[in-house]
Chain A
Amino acid sequence: MRILRRLIVGLRTLVMRRRHDADLDDELGAYVSAVADARIAAGMGRAAAERSARAELGSRAAVRDLVHDVGWEARGDRLWCDLRRAGRGLRARRWRGVFVVVLLGVALAANTVVFSATDSFVLHRLPYPNASRLIELGEESPFAGGGWQSSIFPETLPVWRGFTDLFSEFYGYQTQTGLSYVATGEGPRFITCASVEPGLLDVLGARPVAGRLFASDDGRAGAPPVALIAEELAREEFGSPQLALGKTVAIGNLSPTIVGVLPVAFRFPSGSERIWTPLDVAALAPNRSVSTVAIAAPGRSVEAVASAVWDRGPAVGGHASPPRNTIKRETRARPIGAGLVDSRLRRLFILLCAAAGCLLIVACANVANLELTGALARARLQAIEMALGASRGSLVRTALLEGMAGVAAATSLAVVLASSVTTWMGRHLPAKMTSALVNGLDVDARALWFMTAIAAGVWALTSLPVAVAAARADVLDTLKLDARTLSGSRQSTRVRHILTAAEMAVTVLVLIGGSLAVRSYNALLAIPKGFDTTGVVSVDVRLRPGDDSTPQAVNEMLLKQIRAREDVISASFVGASPPATAGSSGGALIIDGRPDPLGQVQLGPYDADADFFAKTMRLPIRAGRDFRSDDPPNAVIVDELFAKRFWLAGDVVGARFRTGAGWPGILENGGYYVVGVAAHIRTSRDGLTSASEQFFPIYRRPVPLNPFSILSYAVRLKDARGADNLAAMIRALAPTAILRVQTLEARYGEAFANEGLAASVMSAFGGFAFVVAMVGIYGVMAFFVAARTREIAVRLAVGADQAAIVRMVVASSVRVVAIGVGAGTAGAFAAAQWAGSLLFGIASADPWTYAGVAVAVVVTGLVATWLPARQAARIDPVIALRAE
Chain B
Amino acid sequence: MSPTDRPSALVQGTLDMLILKTLALEPMHAYGIGIRLDQISKGVFQVNAGSLFPAFRRLERDGLIKGEWQVTENNRRAKLYALTPTGRKRLKDQARDWEAQTSAIAAILNAKLSDV
- A residues sitting closer than 8 Å to B (CB atoms) are 5-6, 9, 13, 23-24, 26-28, 30-31, 33-35, 37-38, 56-58, 62-63, 66-67, 69-71
Contact = CB atoms under 8 A, between A and B. Distances in A.
B50 A63 contact: yes
Instruction: Name which of B30, B57, B78 has the most chain A CB atoms within 10 A of its CB.
Output: B57
B54 A69 contact: yes
15 contacts: A5-B63, A24-B53, A27-B30, A30-B30, A30-B31, A30-B77, A34-B29, A34-B78, A38-B31, A38-B35, A56-B49, A62-B50, A66-B54, A71-B57, A71-B61
B79 interface: yes
A34 B74 CA distance: 9
The 7 closest A-B pairs by CB, nearest first: A34-B31, A70-B57, A66-B54, A30-B78, A67-B57, A9-B61, A27-B79
A669 B94 CA distance: 107
A27 B50 contact: no
A56 B35 CA distance: 13
A28 B49 contact: yes
A67 B63 CA distance: 16
Nearest to A5: B63
B92 interface: no
Given A34-B29, A34-B32, A28 B79 contact: no
A539 B49 CA distance: 95
A5 B35 CA distance: 32
Contacts of A63: 49-50, 53
Nearest to A27: B79
Nearest to B59: A70
Contacts of A24: 53
A31 B32 CA distance: 9
B90 interface: no
Interface in B43-59: 48-50, 53-54, 57-58
Contacts of A31: 29-31, 49
Given A30-B30, A37-B76, A70-B54, 8 more contacts: A13-B61, A24-B53, A30-B79, A31-B31, A34-B31, A58-B49, A71-B57, A71-B61
Contacts of B58: 70
A70 B78 contact: no
Contacts of B53: 24, 27-28, 63, 66-67
Contacts of B31: 30-31, 34-35, 38
B61 A57 contact: no
B54 A67 contact: yes
A24 B78 CA distance: 11
Contacts of A33: 76
Contacts of B35: 38
Contacts of B76: 30, 33-34, 37
Interface string B60-72: 0101000001001
Contacts of A71: 57, 61
Interface of B: 29-32, 35, 48-50, 53-54, 57-58, 61, 63, 69, 72, 74, 76-79
B114 to A, nearest CB: 47
A71 B58 CA distance: 8
A57 B29 contact: no
Contacts of A35: 31
Instruction: Name which of A23, A26, A34, A35 has the most chain B CB atoms within 10 A of its CB.
Output: A34
Instruction: Name which of B32, B53, B63, B77 has the most chain A CB atoms within 10 A of its CB.
Output: B53
Nearest to B76: A33
A38 B76 CA distance: 13
Contacts of A67: 53-54, 57
A6 B62 CA distance: 8
A24 B50 CA distance: 12
Nearest to B78: A30
B76 to A, nearest CB: 6
A66 B78 contact: no
Contacts of A13: 61
Contacts of A27: 30, 53, 79
A7 B30 CA distance: 26
Nearest to B61: A9
B61 A70 contact: yes
Contacts of B61: 6, 9, 13, 70-71
Nearest to A29: B77
Nearest to A64: B53
Contacts of A9: 61
A31 B49 CA distance: 9
Contacts of A58: 48-50
A37 B49 CA distance: 16
A72 to B, nearest CB: 10
A501 to B, nearest CB: 49
A69 B61 CA distance: 13
A44 to B, nearest CB: 15
Contacts of A30: 29-31, 76-79
A63 B30 CA distance: 13
B30 A37 contact: no
B27 to A, nearest CB: 15
A9 B30 CA distance: 22
Contacts of B74: 37
B100 to A, nearest CB: 24
A27 B29 CA distance: 9
A56 B32 contact: no
A27 B78 CA distance: 7
A343 to B, nearest CB: 64
Contacts of A70: 54, 57-58, 61
B47 to A, nearest CB: 12
Contacts of A26: 69, 77, 79
Contacts of B29: 30-31, 34
A364 to B, nearest CB: 42
B8 to A, nearest CB: 15
Nearest to A59: B50
Nearest to B79: A27
Nearest to A60: B49
A2 to B, nearest CB: 9
A63 B54 CA distance: 8
Contacts of A5: 63
A181 B32 CA distance: 100
Nearest to B31: A34
A58 B58 CA distance: 21
Contact of B48 (A23, A28, A37, A56): A56
A70 B59 CA distance: 10
Nearest to A62: B50
Nearest to B72: A34
Instruction: Name which of A31, A35, A38 has the most chain B CB atoms within 10 A of its CB.
Output: A31
A62 B51 CA distance: 11
B80 to A, nearest CB: 10
A703 to B, nearest CB: 94
A34 B29 CA distance: 9
B32 A66 contact: no
A67 B56 CA distance: 9
A10 to B, nearest CB: 8
Nearest to A41: B74
Contacts of B79: 23, 26-27, 30
Nearest to A35: B31
B6 to A, nearest CB: 17
B10 to A, nearest CB: 15
A319 B44 CA distance: 102
A839 B48 CA distance: 77
A6 B63 CA distance: 10
A28 B78 CA distance: 10
A237 B78 CA distance: 87
A618 B35 CA distance: 114
A38 B35 CA distance: 10
B61 to A, nearest CB: 5
A67 B54 CA distance: 4
Nearest to B52: A31
Contacts of B78: 30, 34
A33 B48 CA distance: 15
B65 to A, nearest CB: 13
A18 to B, nearest CB: 16
